[in-house]
Each structure stands twice: as structure tokens, then as C-alpha cells.
Amino acid sequence: MAPHTEQLTRPAVRLRGLTRSFEGRTVLDGIDLDLPEGQFTALLGHSGSGKSTLLRAIAGIDHGVAGSGTLTAPERVSVVFQDSRLLPWRRVLPNVLLGLDGKDAEERGRAALAEVGLGGRERAWPSELSGGEQQRAALARSLVREPELLLADEPFGALDALTRIKMHALLRQLWERHRPSVLLVTHDVDEAIVLADRVLVLEDGRIALDLTIDRDGPHAHGEYRTRLLKALGVSEDAP
């Protein structure tokens, strides 16, 4: 049964031999990575390990990476960053619809805002939204494009703990409903385990650990946490 299932799951992203250097310093060192369609993957790593560099390469927004290795990625890719990147001089709905046309665009934008709990805030200015609401608007802007691949670079990094927990639930719910492939960059080991089905650790320019999180399996959150912290070289007893 298992091999058959695997054959049916085509990779959404296929990366072979991706290398990226800055001023002679190698940050990504021949990375091979497949992200299956519809999988929720988290990417952990120390600050400066190259997480954002890898995400930018997959997003196709790093032109310096040209010629290094091969990349296959879907056509419809959305990226969410730590700050919402909403245009301050546009109201929420036009921000969500930015660059989108078609006569049903507005209707889709309203539906996406309703999905992230911002129904009724279409005419608000970004500055009138809280940080969490701004990130929800950013998620709506991604969703409305019906991405096959959602790339998120620490989207909750600037939010308070309580808002983060709510955003985790929302992101997981949106993923369950729309099933894009997700690559979520985070510093937070617990966030990675709670949200993702697979957690990668990037270190010394390579994927140092590729861990499957089996929600129905016998392993507890704490066991995954210990393995990931070990791969990150962090002692759980550290202050």
C-alpha cells in the first residue's frame, strides 16, 4: 500500500544540488530536497543558517542562484513574510486583490478575508489593524491566489504568544481546507512540531535532519522536541 501511495504523490518542489554563496562564503551547499504535493513542512535552523536564502531560491526571487542546481516548483506560489507587507496607502481589500484581475476577484477577496476572520474589515487601512490582523490579511492575500505552494518566512515571528497560538490554528485550518504544499520557516521548535508533518533542520548549508511528525504514531511531542533540539545543538537544560 505504502509504495503505491508514494507513487501517487508527485513532488511539488524538486531541488537538486542547489548551492548559494555570498562573497565566496557558501550558505547553501548542494541541497537536494523534494516537497510532496500538499505536505506541510517546517524548516528550522540557527539564525544565518540560510533558511530565508533557501526559501527565496524556491520562490524564484533570488536571481543570484541562477545556474546552480535545478529547481522545479509549481506555477502558483505565494510568499508570506514576518511583516505583512501591506501597502499603507491602500485599504485592506485592495491590498488583498493587488495584481489580481478577473470579474470575480473582488468576491474571492472578500471570501478570503472572511476565511481569516476579517470579514467586515475590507475598508480598513492597514494601520488600523493589529499585528495579528495584518498577518491574517497577508494570509488572505496569499490564499486568494489559490497557491499550489505557500512559502512562509517566520510569519508569526513578531506576534505575541497568544496571537501566535491562534494563528497556528488558523494556518493549519486553512491548509487542511486548501491543501497547498507549505514550507514554513520558523525559529520555534514547538511551532514546527505542532504545525508540520515534516520538520527539516538546516545546518552548514545542508539538511542535517529530515524528521517526519506522525500525529497518530507513538512518539510524543517531547520526543520530537528532544531530537530537534539535539540537531540544533541546543541543550534542553540550557537556561
Task: Give the three cell numbers for residue 91.
Answer: 485599504
- Among 18, 39, 44, 52, the residue binding ligand ATP under the rule CB under 6 A is 52
Pair 236, 229: CB distance under 8 Å = yes
180 binds, among Mg ion, ligand ATP, none (CB under 5 to 8 A by kind): none
* Site track for ligand ATP across 31-50, x = CB under 6 A: --------------x-xxxx
Instruction: Please classify residue 106 by burial: count the beta carbons closer than 10 Å to its beta carbon, then call 0-12 exposed, 13-18 middle and 19+ buried.
Output: middle
Q: Does 52 bind Mg ion (CB under 5 A)?
A: yes
Minimum Å gap between C-beta 26 and ligand ATP is: 10
Torsions phi, psi for 121 (to 5 deg): -105, 15
Report how far residue 224's alpha carbon sits from residue 213's, in angstroms, rounded to the nearest whole number. Answer: 8
DSSP assignment, residue 194? H
Tell me if 205 contacts ligand ATP by CB under 6 A.
no
Closest CA to 132 of 117, 147, 151: 117
Q: Choosing among Mg ion, ligand ATP, none, which partner's interface includes residue 109 (Cβ < 5 to 8 Å by kind)?
A: none
Q: What single-letter amino acid sits at 105? A: A
Of 5-13, 51-59, 83-91, 198-206: span binding Mg ion (CB under 5 A): 51-59
Which of 18, 27, 33, 196 is close enough to bind ligand ATP by CB under 6 A?
Answer: 27
d(CA 106, CA 119): 13
Binding site for ligand ATP (CB under 6 A): 22, 27, 45, 47-53
Binding site for Mg ion (CB under 5 A): 52
